[in-house]
Structure 1
Amino acid sequence: MQENQSPVISVQKLEKSYQNGRTENKVLKGIDLNIKPGQIIGYIGPNGAGKSTTVKILCGLLPDFEGEVKILGLDLRKNSTEIKKQIGYIPENAALYDTLTPREYLQFVGELHKMEKQDIHTKIEKLLDLFDMKAHADERLNSFSKGMRQKILIISGLIHNPKIIFMDEPLSGLDANSVIIVKEILTQLAKEGKTIFYSSHIMDVVEKISDRIILIDQGKVAADGSFAELNSKDRSGSLEKLFTELTGTYGHSEKAEQIINAFEN
């Protein structure tokens, strides 16, 4: 990654509010980000901090926001459809066409992206094999476990070779081997110049794979840098401890003890 490269994601003064009856809940309160090609961004924060909202906005799924967002140099408001052709989105949960098989569903996704027929076939077979799903390629998706469905979602987000991959808790339900595979895939994709925007609660994975970690708290950026840079300031020793210090969420041991006592009494 070269320092003079233009950002593939540029966010300025991003704000987002939700209306709850007469009350307005501001989730994002002025996010500024510039992300270069080839970076793996670990996007972390407490529940309700605005992680998923940020990802959905960047993917063009939430058009009602304040501020300026450019993806691959294109204004998100004016070029949402064109941007969606060049990005991949892997959420924690998404609706699948349950009556289809993985081959049928992935064929459909490939055709939506106007991929060549042979390229679709090659990618499907290669990725199903990589995720140990070839034996289930012709079974109906409604018979799949959460982890199996998540594998198909991951494949569908990668099949068209996107320039940017947005991932929102992508490892949910995966077995240990699949987690390792996903981590290796992301590292390789970053080496090829792809950008990965990775939102997760799994701190050890974020710590190991991320070139840059962005922590948001209460709708604002609380920390931004590599783990080594952030750790050198706070000397926490781990991302989990650093997260606790920066967000002020102490007392986990005491809470666990109280929960155990509640069961015993």
Structure 2
Amino acid sequence: MTVETAVTVEAVDVIPEVAVAPDVAVAPEVIPAPEVTPAPTAAPAASRAPSVLSLYGLHKRFGDTVAVDGVSLEVAEGSFYGIVGPNGAGKTTTLSMVTGLLRPDAGRILVHGVDVWNDPVKAKRAIGVLPDKLRMFDRLTGAQLLHYAGSLRGLSAKTVRNRSADLAKAFGIEDALDRLVADYSAGMSKKIALAAAMIHSPRLLVLDEPFESVDPVSAANVIDILQRYVAAGGTVVLSSHGMDLIQRVCDSVAIIVRGEVLAAGTIDEVRGEQTLEERFVELAGGRKAAEGMEWLHSFSD
């Protein structure tokens, strides 16, 4: 079966929330933006690149739980921007609102000056998404998945073929393109999904835990691809629990705890005289002493 083969109805019914599908969403009701002060920026406006992503006072509640509580951020064009926080801090919820996958209760999101919720189709054309809890059409081959992703973005079959070949070579998955995605390892699934997110050459990549389940060699290769993308003028926003990784590859970072931005700026500004991990632990509440577990040291044998 070639990449030009039409996607079957059975395949499309497998999982409807494929990461590349948001382009076809119908614009929801406009959400009024509250009066909020934009987050402080890392440098004077005159010396900064233009913003590719602006968040103003984002709020999201699930029942009695406040997941995101007034998040405001500015991400400059050409940034490699990291978002870190403990589990349940609101990172994934924030990124889901940024990419139009989850509607905020209040707030405003601009991508290259386009409001994500006033003009979602135009805004999403500029975004490539690798979501959390990755789901794909796993009854397609890798080549068919890339063809589907490119077709949704309006690319011609010839362009999709050429870009699919380039992406497969870059990610080292040329031999897997004719295999079903269902047979991919977790790391290979991440790579084909990232390739699908990049195939339309977006201005902004939003990646939620992109290196989870990816082996160190593949991770190094992906980092190299992303760094070249940023050097060419693209912008990457990613969440990760790997502090060493964020400190090594990102130029800016935001620390989110309990749905609030507690620190944001360049890596050096946020960490100060500490490592990024030490600064993160400090803001997240410090280390907890393990008391009352003396039984653990008695050993059963």
TM above 0.5, one fold? Answer: yes
Counting only pairs closer than 5 Å after superposition, residues 205-220 of structure 1 correspond to structure 2 as: 205-220=245-260
Provide TM-score, normalisation by structure 2: 0.80
AA in 2 matched with 1:42: G
CA separation in 1, counterparts of 2:121 and 2:112? 13
Note the C-alpha offset of 1:65. Answer: 2.3
2:146 maps to 106
Residues 168 and 174 in structure 2, CA contact (< 8 A), matched pair in contact too: yes
Per the TM alignment, residue 35 of structure 1 is displaced from its structure 2 partner at its CA by: 1.5
Match of 1:151 in 2: 191
Deviation at 1:210, TM superposition (A): 0.8
Alignment partner, residue 7 of structure 2: none
What amino acid sits opposite 2:296 in the alignment? N
Determine if the alignment matches structure 1 residue 250 to structure 2 residue 287: yes
Q: Does the 8 A contact of 2:171 with 2:222 survive in 1?
A: no
Query: Measured at CA, do residues 101 and 211 of structure 1 come closer, stay the same or move farther in structure 2, by a change above 3 Å?
Result: same
SS at match of 1:8: strand
Q: Name 1:177's counterpart in structure 2.
A: 217
Deviation, structure 1 residue 260? 9.8
Pick one of 35, 44, 61 that aligns with 1:17.
Answer: 61
**2-side partners of 1:162 and 1:258: how far apart?**
51
Alpha-carbon contact 1:92-1:172 (below 8 Å) kept: no
Question: How many percent of aligned residue pairs carry the same amino acid?
Answer: 28
TM-score (norm 1): 0.90
Equivalent position amino acid for 1:140 in 2 = L
The answer to whether structure 1 residue 121 and structure 2 residue 161 are counterparts is yes
> How far apart, CA to CA, are the structure 2 residues paired with 1:259 and 1:109?
55
Match of 1:240 among 277, 281, 297: 277
Distance 1:99 1:222, change over 3 A: same
For 1:53 and 1:190, locate their aligned partners in 2 and report how far apart those are by CA, in whole Å: 24
In 2, the alpha carbon distance for the partners of 1:249 and 1:85 equals 41
Corresponding residue for 2:135? 95
Over the aligned positions, Cα root-mean-square deviation in angstroms equals: 2.2
Q: Would you say how many aligned residue pairs link Structure 1 and Structure 2?
A: 256
- Residue 296 of structure 2 corresponds to 261
Rounded Cα–Cα distance in structure 2 between residues aligned with 1:78 and 1:38: 25
Q: Deviations over 1:54-103 (max 9, x none)?
A: 00000001124201221110112211111111100012432211211100
Contact 1:18 1:27 (8 Å CA) reproduced: yes
- Name the aligned partner's letter for residue 114 of structure 1: G
Query: Aligned partners of 1:262 and 1:78: how far apart in 2?
Result: 59
CA distance in 2: counterparts of 1:140 and 1:259, whole angstroms = 51
